Amino acid sequence: MNIDLININKSFDGEQVINNFNGIIEENKITCIMGESGIGKTTLINMILGLEKPDSGKILGLDQRKISAVFQEDRLCEEFNCIQNLRIVCDRNISDKELTRLLYSLELGEVMYKKVSLLSGGMKRRLAIGRALIFDADIIVMDEPFKGLDRELHAKIIELVKKKAKGKILIVVTHSMEEVKSLNANLIVL
Ligand SMILES: Nc1ncnc2c1ncn2[C@@H]1O[C@H](COP(=O)(O)OP(=O)(O)OP(=O)(O)O)[C@@H](O)[C@H]1O
């Protein structure tokens, strides 16, 4: 089922951020959201995640569906290691082998038993992406997930995300047209 955003309005302190927005996020597709800084991209995805409520308008297509997210900040459990951070969100029937495989494909295999607080920024980002991918979600929302990853890793992680998001809705906030193209995504420009 598509996600249908209908006549969405949102203000903060009397300042209109989202003004009568209409858009469709298609089922089984990747959709990128672009727009200049401060235009309301995060606000829009926060409404899809249920973290903000529109002042008026409707969002259809979210009922009974599970959503996972990569936020602008990593929001990991810093005192837990990589495996433990994944375990928090995944089904019990997922084996350690599967988690290990995912961590290796994120190039985190060598550090999987390290506490998150000891990891680099890029490693934390990849773990946050992994956590969103391992949760059995229908909809995955990612706010600038690939920012700061070096070129080679960037391409590899995009391919992994594309593969894992097959059959789901994936929404990616980005400032990069190159990412939109590599993801072969629909585009919403705010
Ligand atoms: N909870 C809030 N309270 C007050 N103002 C807010 C709140 N959330 C967002 N805003 C304001 O709404 C506007 C849009 O912010 P938002 O984070 O959605 O933009 P963005 O397009 O994601 O920006 P960026 O690309 O810089 O991340 C900004 O002016 C911001 O200050």
68 lines ligand 1 (CB under 6 A): no
Q: What's the pLDDT score for residue 56?
A: 97
Distance CA 10, CA 41 (A): 12
In the structure, what pLDDT confidence band is assigned to residue 153 with cuts at 50, 70 and 90? very high
The encoded tokens of residue 83 equal 């495996």
The encoded tokens of residue 57 equal 């308008």
Specify the ligand 1 atom closest to the Cα of 52.
1
For residue 22, the CA-to-ligand 1 centroid distance in Å is 19
Report the pLDDT averaged over residues 127-131.
Answer: 98
The strand pairing partners of 9, in sequence order, are: 56
Distance CA 135, CA 107 (A): 19
Q: What's the pLDDT score for residue 151?
A: 83
Distance CA 185, CA 29 (A): 7
Mutate to test the pocket of ligand 1, among 39, 48, 49 (most ligand atoms within 8 A of CB): 39
- Whether 72 shows a pLDDT value over 90: the answer reads yes
Q: What angle do CA 53, 25, 149 make, to 5 degrees?
A: 90
| pTM score over 0.90 | yes
Sheet hosting strand 15-25, strand order edge to edge:
15-25, 3-12, 56-60
Q: What's the pLDDT score for residue 92?
A: 87
With CA atoms as reference, report the closest residue to 126 among 114, 38, 137. 114
Alpha-carbon separation of residue 118 from 81, 89, 123 (angstroms): 9, 21, 10
In the structure, what pLDDT confidence band is assigned to residue 4 with cuts at 50, 70 and 90? very high
Distance CA 23, CA 19 (A): 12
The encoded tokens of residue 65 equal 């569906």
For residue 160, the CA-to-ligand 1 centroid distance in Å is 29
Report the pLDDT averaged over residues 154-158.
Answer: 95
CB contact at 8 A, 4 and 54 = no
For residue 72, the CA-to-ligand 1 centroid distance in Å is 12
Report the pLDDT averaged over residues 144-166.
Answer: 93
Sign of CA dihedral 9, 72, 177, 4: negative
Map out the domains of the chain as residue ranges.
Answer: 1-64+171-190
The encoded tokens of residue 127 equal 């773990």
For residue 17, the CA-to-ligand 1 centroid distance in Å is 8
Supply the mean pLDDT for the chain: 96
CATH for 1-64+171-190 (3.30.1490.480, 3.40.190.10, 3.90.550.10, 3.40.50.300): 3.40.50.300
In the structure, what pLDDT confidence band is assigned to residue 133 with cuts at 50, 70 and 90? very high
Q: What's the pLDDT score for residue 98?
A: 95
Distance CA 134, CA 120 (A): 21
39 lines ligand 1 (CB under 6 A): yes
14 lines ligand 1 (CB under 6 A): no
For residue 113, the CA-to-ligand 1 centroid distance in Å is 36
Distance CA 58, CA 80 (A): 38
- Whether 190 shows a pLDDT value over 90: the answer reads yes
For residue 81, the CA-to-ligand 1 centroid distance in Å is 31
Q: Whose CA is nearest to atom 18 of ligand 1?
A: 40
